[in-house]
Amino acid sequence: MSQDNQYKSREVAKRVTLKEIAGVTEFEQGEDKYSPKYANLPTGEQVNRVFFTGTVTSGVELAENFYKLTISQPDSSEIDVMGTEYTTPEAMDIIKQFASGELQAPKFVFVVGKPKEGNDDYPKPTIKPEYIRVVTPEEYRKCLAETVEHVTEREVTPEVEETIEEIKSKL
């Protein structure tokens, strides 16, 4: 791939559980400022974009143009999805609807986004959303079952294996 075209294509989102995202402890970036930043999953795999399904448990406005959705899965793992001025308009619209109460938690959602490194004020990884869609209970269960299939095809840590078993027991 030529240098000019190297950054024009998006990487496919990897289906993950929230437990896998929560287990990210290291992020790596390529050699220049335009290189993608990768999250190292507990399995050692690197991801730049993730896809997951979960239940929105809360939505709040933290400051002007700064919002947080908390999303959980059946094993009680959670991740915060942060909406800022740089969030896609479509995803930000959904986030604002939850924060304003127009959409009431709990609701099932699909999310595509980029894992973001924590900082001193907020040490755990978060998600910068690119796409959020509210889904039906049937779509949620089907997607969660497909995620379980995808994850079990990989080598996973014992913690993620426990998560998969717990999710399967609740489908």
Go through the domains of the chain in sequence order and give each one's CATH number. Answer: 14-157 (2.40.50.140)
| Residue-wise pLDDT tens digits, 17-35 | 999 998 887 888 877 777 8
Question: What pLDDT, on a 0 to 100 scale, did the predictor assign at position 158?
Answer: 87
Task: Say if residues 107 and 71 touch (Cβ distance below 8 Å).
Answer: no
Burial call 17-55: b when 16+ CB within 10 Å, e when fewer: bbbbbbbbeeeeeeeeeeeeebbbbbeeebbbbbbbbbb
Question: What pLDDT, on a 0 to 100 scale, did the predictor assign at position 16?
Answer: 93
Question: What pLDDT, on a 0 to 100 scale, did the predictor assign at position 128?
Answer: 95
Q: What predicted TM-score, i.e. pTM, was given to this entire model? A: 0.87
Question: What pLDDT, on a 0 to 100 scale, did the predictor assign at position 8?
Answer: 55
Question: What pLDDT, on a 0 to 100 scale, did the predictor assign at position 121?
Answer: 75
Task: Say if residues 111 and 99 touch (Cβ distance below 8 Å).
Answer: no
Task: Say if residues 83 and 126 touch (Cβ distance below 8 Å).
Answer: no
Question: What pLDDT, on a 0 to 100 scale, did the predictor assign at position 144?
Answer: 93
Please return the burial class of 169, using the count of CB atoms within 10 Å of its CB with bins 0-12, 13-18 and 19+: exposed
Low-confidence ranges of the chain (pLDDT < 70): 1-9
